[in-house]
Every structure is written in structure tokens, then in C-alpha cells.
Amino acid sequence: MKLGSLDVDSPYLLAPMAGYTDKPFRSICKTFGAGLTVSELISVNAVYYGNKKTMKLIEKSDIEKPFSIQLFGGNPDTFLYAAQKIEHICDCININAGCPANKVVKAHSGSYLLKEKNRLFEIVDKLKKHIKKPVSIKLRKGFDENSINTMDFYKELEKRGIDFIVIHPRLRSQFFKGHLDYEHIAIAKDALNIDVIVNGGLNSYKKIEEVKQLTRCNFFMIGQSAIDKPYIFEDLINKKDSIRSVDFLKELIKKHFTLMIEYYGEYLAVRNFRKFFHHYTKGIKFSKQLNTQINSAKTEKEVIEIIESINNTQ
């Protein structure tokens, strides 16, 4: 199926999440059928200065097709420079106009762009003029109660050539909690001809069916639920909500950790893996004990032993 001009195998897309959507995790989600993977938000300034850590964050695996890089920044010229520098690595560039973090907003980027729409339009215009790959945008419903996005604003983005749009229907002032206004997305979907992607609170097949009815959207972007259960993409494709066995989880945990060792090396893999392990073992018996062990593990061998012990604790 087509998402804008991109060929995607499934309508269920992985959301960008700083600290989580690295190459190993994206690869895991891709093997379960995520239609699109997106890097975490990448600073245009860091790309400008060729920051090594940042350039590693945008490495992609061979199976990530199509792959999108999400950029954030407030200066249109730096934005364009960064987009041109990384365009060859990805299939699509995504503009972040949703990040609520104080640091990002203070730098006049992320969700701040919803307050300074002319600056956002300037970024869009520059990218659409000079970038050959599709340019999409991920945004919130508005910055605060006084600046809720109008349909004219969305139409203006469409007119300026944005290829598709992801809407998280919360205000910046809500951060990650509170009411999700899917009705706002339904109205935007009606008003626009480009693809509109729903994002927020999509944690099961049942939920997506409800949201699909309400919004009439065809594409769905999944964030936090993918961290808990990356196999959600497979469930959605199979039109069901599954409960996986402990043996299945154990194999998945091992595979994920192996990919992290390959990508980060032992020192960082052992430390960065802890947060994923906490999510994977949420419903497992003795998870508290397992998590205490994983938090103090220092070597690959120790982590593997903890993973191997999971069955014995059930």
C-alpha cells in the first residue's frame, strides 16, 4: 500500500521515541511487520556539527525499508543543511513539531513551531524545494488551549507540499497524559487529501478498530505499546490481540539483546538493555527480582544468565 509515495507493507507504523527507537529496537519491530520505522528525534545542530553519537543514531539496518529520519530544530537554514546531509540515508524526512520538552521548546523547535507557524512554513518550503525524498510532519493538536491547530493550518501544510502528516491529538501543555482528542483527527482527515496518521494510545487491535471507525484514517503509529510488546505489529496484521508464552518472550529478549551487543558493544548494550528488559518482564512472575539482577549486571554473560533463568522462575 502507499503512504504518500512510499510503499509500505502494513498500515501500522513505529513512532519515533528518544532513547528507545535505536537500530536494534527498530529492527525488532520491523521483523514483526512495522510498515515504517522512524529514527528518534535528531537535532539539526548536531547533524550540522557532524556529532558522532548523532550520526550513529541514524544508522539503519538493511531490513528497514522504508526508513524515516526525524529532525528537530528551529533555524530553517540549519534544518535544510541537516536534511541535505542525511537525505541519502533515508526514504523520508520527518519534521518534529510535537516535542513538548522544555529544552526543545526553549530552542524554538519541536512543538514551539506550532506557535510560530511562519517559521514552520519556512522550514517546509525549504525542504520541499531542495529535498527529493518525501517530507512529512509529526505534530500535536496544538501548543495550548489558545493555539489549537485549525484546518486552514493543515491545508496550508498540504498546499506547501507536505507528503503526509502524523497527528498526536494532545496539546503540548498535556505532555504525555490526558484526553486524546481523536475527533480532532477525524476533522483533519475529512479536510485533507494527504494521508493522515493517527498517533496516541493505540495499544490493541480492538482500540485501533475503534479509532479507525471514529477517524476513518488508514494509518496508525504506535509508540509506547511497541516497547511493551513489539509483536503488537504482528497482532495487528493478524487482526487479534495475543498473549505470548514465556518461552516466546525469552527468545525475543535474547534476540533483542544480541542485536544490541552487535550495535553498541558490551558496555553500552548491557546498560541500555535494562529499560527494555523492564518492559518485557512486566507481567512475568518474579519480575522484581529479575529486574534487580539486570540492573546490577555488568557483562554480556551475566545478562544471558539472567535471561536463561526466566523459565525457571515461572
Note the residues at the interface with ligand FMN (CB under 6 A): 15-20, 40-41, 70, 96, 98-99, 138, 168, 176, 199-202, 222-225
Asked whether 280 and 250 are in contact (CB, 8 A), the reply is no
In terms of CB distance, is 188 or 202 closer to ligand FMN? 202
Quote the CA–CA distance of 107 and 293 in Å, as a whole number: 39
In terms of CB distance, is 203 or 258 closer to ligand FMN? 203
In terms of CB distance, is 11 or 200 closer to ligand FMN? 200
Q: DSSP E strands: which ranges in 120-159?
A: 135-142
In terms of CB distance, is 93 or 310 closer to ligand FMN? 93
Coil/strand/helix, residue 261: helix
Q: DSSP E strands: which ranges in 175-305?
A: 195-199, 219-222
Taking CB atoms, the residue at the shortest distance from ligand FMN is 223
For the bound state, the minimum distance from the C-beta of residue 309 to ligand FMN, rounded and expressed in Å, comes to 28
CA-CA-CA-CA torsion sign (160, 191, 176, 118): positive
Quote the CA–CA distance of 228 and 57 in Å, as a whole number: 21
Annotated active-site residue 90? The verdict is no
Residues contacting 9, CB < 8 A, separation 6+: 1, 33, 35
State the residue for C-alpha cell 471514529. Answer: 214
Q: Tell how strand 2-3 and strand 6-7 pair up.
A: antiparallel
In terms of CB distance, is 186 or 232 closer to ligand FMN? 232
DSSP-assigned letter for residue 253: H
Task: Spot the catalytic one: 29, 92, 99, 217.
Answer: 99
Q: Tell how strand 67-72 and strand 42-43 pair up.
A: parallel
Residues known to be catalytic: 99
